[in-house]
Amino acid sequence: MPEVPQPIQRSGQCVCGSVRYVCAGEPERVTVCHCLWCQRRTGTAFGTEVVFQAQNISFSGEPPASYRHISDESGRWLEVYFCPRCGANLGFTLEAVPGVRTVPAGTLDDPTFLAPKRVKFRHVFARTRRQWGDFTSEVDVHEKHFRPR
Ligand SMILES: [Zn+2]
Ligand SMILES: [Zn+2]
C-alpha cells in the first residue's frame, strides 16, 4: 500500500503550557495588524496572526478561555482566545471571515518557517503603526540584552 502523505504539522502553546495546539498544513497568510485594538489586546505595537482554516487547528490540554469583542470599526464580533491560567494570547476567530482561526506567531514552538518568501505576509492598519519597534538610529539595538548578564 502506498503511504498517504500527511500534511505538515506544527505545534504551539501558551506561556504556561496548559493549552497546546497543532496546526495541519500551511497557513493561508500572516497578518501583521497595527490597529489600536491589536495594540491593546497584545499589549505591544502590533499583532502577528498566522491564519489557518479553523478545522486545521486542534487544541489539547486546558480549553482556551474566550472573550467576544465588538469592533468599533465594523460592528462585527471577534472572539479572542487566551489561556485561563497564564492569560497568554491564543489568537481569534472573526465574524467577518468565517471558517478561519488565527494563532499568534510567537506562540508557535518553532516560528522560523514564517518567512515572507514562503508565506504571504500583509501589514494592515499601518495608519496607526508605532515607530518604536523599528531599528532606527534613534534607538539602541543589542543582539542580546544591554546588561552583560
Ligand atoms: Zn497558559
Ligand atoms: Zn488589529
Q: Reduced to 3 states, what is the DSSP secondary structure of residue 87?
A: coil
Ligand 2 center from residue 69 Cα (angstroms): 12
Task: Determine the Cα–Cα distance for residues 59 and 88; give it in Å rounded to an integer.
Answer: 14
Ligand 1 center from residue 60 Cα (angstroms): 12
Q: Report the pLDDT value the prediction gives residue 138, as an integer from 0 to 100.
A: 86
39-95 per-position pLDDT tens digit: 999 999 999 999 999 999 999 999 999 999 999 888 999 999 999 999 999 999 999
The sheet carrying 100-104 orders its strands as: 100-104, 47-53, 29-33, 121-124
Ligand 1 center from residue 15 Cα (angstroms): 5
Task: Determine the Cα–Cα distance for residues 80 and 85; give it in Å rounded to an integer.
Answer: 15
Task: Determine the Cα–Cα distance for residues 101 and 39; give it in Å rounded to an integer.
Answer: 19
109 pLDDT higher than 90:
yes
133 pLDDT higher than 90:
no
Ligand showing the shortest atom-to-Cα distance for residue 41 = 2
Ligand showing the shortest atom-to-Cα distance for residue 37 = 2
pTM (2 decimals)?
A: 0.91
Contacts of 123 (CB under 8 A, 6+ apart): 32, 33, 34, 129
Ligand showing the shortest atom-to-Cα distance for residue 46 = 2
